[in-house]
Amino acid sequence: MLVSLSGTFDAHWAGAVGDRISFSIQEYSQGRPLDVDLIVDLSEVAYISSGAIRVLLELHRRIEGAGRKFAVCNPAPQVSKVMQTSGLYNVFAFYPSVEAAARTLAGFRSPRTP
């Protein structure tokens, strides 16, 4: 699942964004165990707040806790700096592009048996 965000990702929007992503994951899963990787594209985000970081951490915990992969793509320089300062480069998998993340995450999937 790809989520592309833009603009200001602050406390005002963090809850709504988190709720919308959680709803989409729930709709995708349709009551089955969580079976989706999540790629978050931050290339168009100009500002990120601690509230937004908390939402990303919660999503990361949920996705990775289900044995799936969580990736962050191409944060803008100012967002990248906040994430580095927050220590998130030691928590999240970061990729230079959505395509790079998708290729890497596809390599983690094991073939399903019918």
Q: CATH top-level class for 2-108? A: alpha beta
| Percent of all residues in the chain with a pLDDT value above 90, rounded to a whole number | 61
Report the C-alpha gap between 67 and 87 in whole angstroms: 22
Q: Where are the domains of the chain?
A: 2-108
Looking at the chain, how many residues does it have? 114
- Residue 7 to residues 2, 27, 58: CA-CA distances in angstroms? 17, 26, 21
pTM, entire model:
0.85
User: How much is the pLDDT for 36?
Assistant: 82
pLDDT at 109 over 80: no
Give residue-wise pLDDT tens across range 49-99.
999 999 999 999 989 988 889 999 999 999 999 999 999 999 999 999 999
